[in-house]
Amino acid sequence: MRAAAGEIDTRRGRLLRRAAAAWCLIIAAESVHGALRHLLLVPAVGDRAARQIGFVAGSMIVLAIAAWTAPWMAARTRRAQVAVGGAWMVLLACFEVGLAFTRDDAWRRLRADYDPREGGLMAPGLVIVLLAPMIGAAWRGVGARSDRSGQAHAGRVGRPPGR
């Protein structure tokens, strides 16, 4: 049975709002992570090593939030999951560029963040952000899957995180 056009628009709108809320959560968590990295890790191991360690920790933060919010976001299809990840990736890149301009050495620092020769791992990080909703949904069992009869049915969707 096909869904009515209004119901599809409502689901898309709900997915968009929830994806935006999850992105805000990611940005808040990554901002705290970045501040703590700068305050605690950079003095201990240096900037380059701190950024590399931060890449691993930041990736885990993004994946954990994506997995935690996957049932609530209810992005059931790979297409929806990649669309959410793509939106997160673009928003994160825009956020990083905007943040760079709050510093005196904006272009040098931004270039270093994307240059692997200088320890920058932002490019692979953006790929992780792109794939995070799909990985999180797979970890949580969210989305369409087939049972033994070959009939597709919905996985766990629509529940708020923690329920």
| Segment 19-75, tens digit of pLDDT | 999 999 999 999 999 999 999 999 999 988 898 899 999 999 999 999 999 999 888
pLDDT tens track for 112-143:
778 888 777 888 899 999 999 999 999 988 87
Could you state, in order of their start, the residue ranges of all structural domains in the chain?
11-138
Please report the sign of the dihedral spanned by the C-alpha atoms of residue 114, residue 118, residue 120, residue 123: positive
Angle between helices 106-114 and 122-140 (to 10 degrees): 50
Measured on CA atoms in the order 12, 73, 163, 23, is the torsion positive or negative?
A: negative
Residue 10 token pair = 């409502």
